[in-house]
Chain A
Amino acid sequence: MKYDIVLGGVGGQGILLASQVIAQAAMNRGLKVMMAETHGMAQRGGSVISHVRLGDIYGALVPEGHADLVVGFEYMEAFRQLKFLAKGKKLIINAHRIKPVTLETYPELDFDLGDYDVLRLDASRIALNLGNPIVTNMVIVGAMSQFAQLPASQQEIKDAIRESVPSQFAEIDLKAFEEGVRAAQ
């Protein structure tokens, strides 16, 4: 068994924590886990990517065209990482748009997504409604757990959230997770 996930977004969106939660849940199940993430220069508001590989794997990088799940924490970033997704597999797109400072306006992006199984949601709005845009990442984790066949149950992921976040955030993060699950139903 092998399950490959690529998460794309903008530095500061909390991709790393989302990846860690999924990885922790899988690890608690006894699966082999590898993660590769962006550090350094690129973290400063640039595109960031995180590879999460679970199961029978060797390297930490998901081969292009072979991911089971690609998640865009930001609209444009979903498409940037689309090259990793295998045909027929799942794509989650957060509707939130962050305009790159180097562009005058946010570009119109239009790709044929017929090859993929797509879930669109506005995780950032859901998080805002919960009172804190910071929990967008946990909304997305919730949506992932509902929409994709992650090798970890929702209960296991909730346990991993409790393990991974500072205790004062656990409650709101778990609430965000539940909202994400609902949004993907």
Chain B
Amino acid sequence: MGNEAIARGAVEAGVKVVAAYPGTPSSEIPNTISKIAKKYGIYFEWSTNEKVAYEVAFAGAVTGLRSMVTMKHVGLNVASDAFMASAEVGVEGGYVVVSADDPSLHSSQNEQDNRYYARLANIPCIEPGSPQEAKDYTIKAFEISEQYKMPVMLRTTTRVNHTRGDVELGDILSLERTPKFEKNPRRYVTVPTNARVLRENIIKKMDSFKSDLDTIEGKGSLGVIASGIAYNYVKETLLLLDVEAEIYKVAVTHPLSNAIIDFLNRHDDVIVVEELEPIVETEVRSMAQKENIPVTIYGKDIVPRAFELNTTRVANAFRKYKNLPLEEVREFDIPARPPILCPGCPHRASFYAIRKAAPKGIYPSGIGCYTLGFVPPLSAVDSCLCMGASIGFSCGLSEFVSDKIICTIGDSSFFHAGIPPLLDAVYNKHTFVVMILDNETTAMTGHQPHPGTGITGMGESVRKIYPEKLTEAMGIKTDVVDPHDVKRTIEVLKEAVKSDELRVVIARRKCIFLEGAERKNPYVVTDECTGCRLCLNQLGCPAIEFVEGKAVINELCNGCGVCAQICPSNAITGD
């Protein structure tokens, strides 16, 4: 898998520090490192959020160790403050910043092209297009970073991260370095007088930047410039349409190589093919303008800008260029099958309770498995902006509307971005109810540990941090409930809503996938079932079906017993 290849590349390059907060499609990189860290003498941590992860790994790089931080595209939004300043400060040991973008939003709240960030910070950006390149370019990124003493972005996309293919391994470099922090206030203390000098330095460094990673192949009067994964689709398109072209494959998308000038000079027509934003295209156009090259450049006028590319889409772009009829994709009208909360998921019971406790309330939420609480019939998620936003949004909302507000946030999200907005709520006297959906893991991204789990990335047991200790220390009355005790959860929530105070209710029950989570035999529906459909219509559990006028529980049931508690006829039983 591309992500395992990146992890391997880092190991081969002699990485000694890796820090991460999980996020699809990046998570398998740190998941892999976590398993092998001890063996290769790597310090690995799951950090509380991407900004912290960035700073931890940056510290490693400043002390001369090869270091890496990994995150999904939106993670860099969180880390961006540290990211921007670190670009100017620079590093000693190679520092690779893996930004895993998610074109087509397979598992994200937005589509975002982080190559803009590399430009914004003015650091080199390298884009692999296959699992093999993912490994090779990771190693290159470390070398470039060390050569220019600045962070390097390794920008991947979902189809690089999650593509499996064979990868040829190389030797593991053994670097024996003693980490050392050399005091140097002019460099590390970014007061304006120092930072002005750093600013000019980085421009000089980038002006002098050279790399030989880009490649040119093929022959033809048509020129094609392709970056990252788009190169593969171009290769297949040329075969499919039997078109000849010279291909310039961009590996380093910032700064672009001057070799492109010669390439433009050789062709009358050039098509730039890249996924998402016209970043290479814009730069190529400006090169042509500056050098006064008479070339016609095609880009986002024929290649789609939104969502990921594939061979069909790229081939259609080439057909447009050649004025050929487009290939129609045969679409079949099939009802959507959206993801849903698992049978036995504790979040389902929490959302049910929220609806009972404040039927007319507003339910701000955030990102995690729990976002799936928006799906009817639960319909207990009214907003999802980004991690931690449920609390900040409620701070504002509670000032402007008079509705009752119960917002939800996952435990991992709470540690990641929920604490500052909760402090704001106390400080500015906002009143609403925060329900922390504590399933004791970061479920959505594959069950990574966090500060509340008592396990570190190195597999060590440490003291658990309990959210209730934090919220109580802030002076907020906090209740802890088991969401599978439906009656009590509703009562506690009702009382919290009624109190007209800022309240925290922690719904604690393990994700059903965790070791030690309670799983029981499927429940059964007895003859008492009157076919009222209440269980079906209020829980939306995939284990409950309706057959010939009665509820039936199928083999997906994990025996959570929530339906049995809400059945008005006591017609559901289990062990």
Given A37-B162, A44-B340, A44-B341 in contact, is the A57-B236 Cβ separation under 8 Å? yes
In angstroms, Cα B2 to Cα A35, docked, is: 10
Q: Which residues of B contact A80 (CB under 8 A)?
A: 332, 334, 337
Question: Could you count the A-B residue pairs with CB atoms below 8 Å apart for me: how many are there?
Answer: 137
Separation in Å of the A63 CB from the closest CB of chain B? Answer: 4
Does B159 contact A60, Cβ atoms closer than 8 Å?
yes
Does B311 contact A47, Cβ atoms closer than 8 Å?
no
**A41 within 8 Å of B (CB atoms):** yes
Q: Which residues of A contact B315 (CB under 8 A)?
A: 63
**B56 within 8 Å of A (CB atoms):** no
Separation in Å of the B398 CB from the closest CB of chain A? Answer: 29
Given A10-B337, A59-B236, A101-B542 in contact, is the A41-B311 Cβ separation under 8 Å? no
**A119 within 8 Å of B (CB atoms):** no
**B555 within 8 Å of A (CB atoms):** yes
Kindly supply a per-residue 1/0 record for chain A positions 77-92, scoring 1 wherever the CB is within 8 Å of any chain B CB and 0 otherwise.
1011011000000000
Does A59 contact B310, Cβ atoms closer than 8 Å?
yes
A11, A20, A59, A64, most chain B CB atoms within 10 A: A59
Q: Tell me the residues in window 549-570 of chain B with beta carbons closer than 8 Å to chain A beta carbons.
A: 555
Q: Tell me the residues in window 221-279 of chain B with beta carbons closer than 8 Å to chain A beta carbons.
A: 229, 231-233, 235-236, 240
Q: Which residues of B contact A32 (CB under 8 A)?
A: 165-166
Kindly supply a per-residue 1/0 record for chain B positions 17-42, scoring 1 wherever the CB is within 8 Å of any chain A CB and 0 otherwise.
00000001100000000000000000
Q: Which residues of B contact A79 (CB under 8 A)?
A: 332, 334
Among the stretches A103-111, A148-156, A163-171, A173-181, the one at the interface with B is: A103-111
25 pairs, CB–CB < 8 Å, chain A vs chain B: A11-B339, A23-B164, A27-B166, A34-B163, A36-B163, A39-B24, A40-B25, A40-B107, A41-B106, A44-B369, A47-B337, A57-B236, A59-B159, A59-B229, A60-B164, A63-B240, A64-B312, A65-B327, A65-B329, A80-B334, A82-B332, A99-B545, A101-B541, A102-B340, A102-B375
**Given A100-B336, A102-B376, 17 new contacts (CB under 8 A):** A35-B164, A39-B162, A40-B444, A44-B342, A44-B372, A46-B337, A57-B236, A60-B163, A60-B232, A77-B337, A80-B334, A83-B330, A83-B331, A83-B332, A101-B540, A101-B542, A102-B337
- Taking Cβ atoms with an 8 Å cutoff, the residues of B that contact A are 24-25, 106-107, 130, 158-159, 162-166, 229, 231-233, 235-236, 240, 310-312, 315, 327, 329-332, 334-342, 369, 371-372, 375-376, 444-445, 540-542, 545, 555
